[in-house]
């Protein structure tokens, strides 16, 4: 994923309100769950990992692959990235039906990508489907190696869930890839404030300004 994609993906969390100022949101409130129009819940596309292994599922997956246009030169990973990007844009607009469709298609095109799972983490969090949210978060973790945007998003979700020390691990893993990553420094500063470690918080606040 490109750095511009990382910015867009990270911005999605801000727009959705899943990232609050102090990362103290542990559970979705009724108001946040209410952001999903009930009619959209009925039209959410079921992701491939929740579908039965049968002819109908295989036919759907084949149709998704066949829909990849010449624009991507047959590169399914590139097409998956575009689909995931479309999903995050739909989340920005609180269009969960379109987001679920885009993320589901991205997962078919690139099963190793963490981004479709991260998209569904948001959807399931706002639907209060916590077991499904946890499954998707773990699946994203399993697929996130050396992907800065994914690592920041995972750390953010862990912070929202109150697992601040685990969040720190993921934000630090971003700095191992790029010591100047401003997003990682910003999130570390916020997280260390919650951990009552002002010295480290101030250090990362200063680094985030560079």
Q: Is the pLDDT of residue 173 over 80?
A: yes
Judge whether 181 lies within some domain: no
Q: How far apart are CA 68 and CA 70, in angstroms?
A: 7
Residue 69 domain boundaries: 28-144
Q: How far apart are CA 209 and CA 3, in angstroms?
A: 18
Q: Whole-prediction pTM value?
A: 0.82
Q: Is the pLDDT of residue 44 over 80?
A: yes
Q: Is the pLDDT of residue 113 over 60?
A: yes
Judge whether 44 lies within some domain: yes
Confidence at residue 161, expressed as pLDDT on a 0 to 100 scale: 86
Confidence at residue 39, expressed as pLDDT on a 0 to 100 scale: 61
Judge whether 85 lies within some domain: yes
Judge whether 3 lies within some domain: no
Q: How far apart are CA 203 and CA 89, in angstroms?
A: 33
Of 11-20, 46-55, 122-131, 157-166, the poorest mean pLDDT is in 11-20
pLDDT-derived band at 55, boundaries 50, 70, 90: very high
Of 7-16, 129-138, 167-176, the poorest mean pLDDT is in 7-16
Give the total number of structural domains in the chain.
1
Residue 161 is classified by DSSP as T
Judge whether 165 lies within some domain: no
For the chain, helix, strand, coil in percent to 5 are: 70, 0, 30
Q: Domain containing 128 — which CATH number? A: 1.25.40
Judge whether 20 lies within some domain: no
Judge whether 23 lies within some domain: no
Judge whether 204 lies within some domain: no
- Other CB atoms within 10 Å distance of the CB of residue 5: 17
Q: Is the pLDDT of residue 8 over 90?
A: no
């Amino acid at each position: 994923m490109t750095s511009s994609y990382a910015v867009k993906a990270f911005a999605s969390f801000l727009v959705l309100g899943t990232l609050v100022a102090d990362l103290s949101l542990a559970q979705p409130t009724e108001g946040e769950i209410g952001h999903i129009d009930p009619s959209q819940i009925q039209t959410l596309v079921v992701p491939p990992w929740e579908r039965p292994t049968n002819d109908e599922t295989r036919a759907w997956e084949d149709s998704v692959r066949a829909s990849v246009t010449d624009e991507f030169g047959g590169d399914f990973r590139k097409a998956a990235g575009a689909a995931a990007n479309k999903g995050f844009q739909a989340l920005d607009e609180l269009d969960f039906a379109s987001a679920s469709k885009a993320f589901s298609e991205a997962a078919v095109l690139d099963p190793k990508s963490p981004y479709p799972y991260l998209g569904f983490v948001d959807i399931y969090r706002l639907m209060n489907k916590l077991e499904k949210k946890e499954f998707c978060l773990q699946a994203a973790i399993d697929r996130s190696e050396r992907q800065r945007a994914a690592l920041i998003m995972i750390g953010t979700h862990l912070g929202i869930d109150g697992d601040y020390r685990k969040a720190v691990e993921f934000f630090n893993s971003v700095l191992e890839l790029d010591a100047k990553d401003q997003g990682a420094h910003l999130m570390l500063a916020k997280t260390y404030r919650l951990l009552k470690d002002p010295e480290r918080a101030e250090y990362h606040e200063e680094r985030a300004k560079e």
